[in-house]
Structure 1
Amino acid sequence: MFKNGNSYAFRVSKKDREFMNVGEETKFEKIVSPDGKSITFKKIEKATPNILEVANGVYEDHRNLMKRLEEL
């Protein structure tokens, strides 16, 4: 741990960074234990970038159901 401006930060070794396949753009979720004795960082996996394409595919796969729902 080291001082970084008004905060403190943890270092990740090059070996660990490569093993985890993370870089500067990687996002993490921080989880602090209820007793305050541990902090866990979990890598947030990227969401499907083409969510509109996925939604359109679902719509097309269930076109008849969607039409019935529109008529309710």
Structure 2
Amino acid sequence: MINPEELNKDVKMFKNGNSFAFRVSKKDRDFLGADESTEFEKVVSPDGKAITFRKVENVRPEIMDIADKLMDKHADLMQRLERL
């Protein structure tokens, strides 16, 4: 098992086309259980000194279907709540 403390180290930003990127090592990917289809949320601190990436967990499709049906069923209530 990978100790997450061993993954903490300095990394350099590099040019990638018209953008810049940070490299994620194989150990990092293995620890995160991530591949090229994994989505991350990026959060930049208000002072501009930190960027945090959080893995977005997949939502079960049936949960989204239930939520969509509830939103449709109560659309008038949702619109009233938006105006509060």
What TM-score do you get using the length of structure 1 for normalisation? 0.69
Q: How does 1:18-29 map to 2 (within 5 A)?
A: 18-29=30-41
Aligned to 2:78: none
Give RMSD over aligned pairs. 1.5
> Structure 1 residue 40 and structure 2 residue 52: aligned?
yes
> Structure 1 residue 12 and structure 2 residue 24: aligned?
yes
Q: 5+ residue gaps in structure 1?
A: 56-72
Structure 1 ranges of 4+ moved more than 3 A: none
Q: Identity of aligned pairs, percent?
A: 66
Deviations 1:22-62 (A, max 9, x none): 0000001000000000000000000112333xx3xxxxxxx
Rg: which structure is higher?
1
Q: 5+ residue gaps in structure 2?
A: 1-12, 67-84
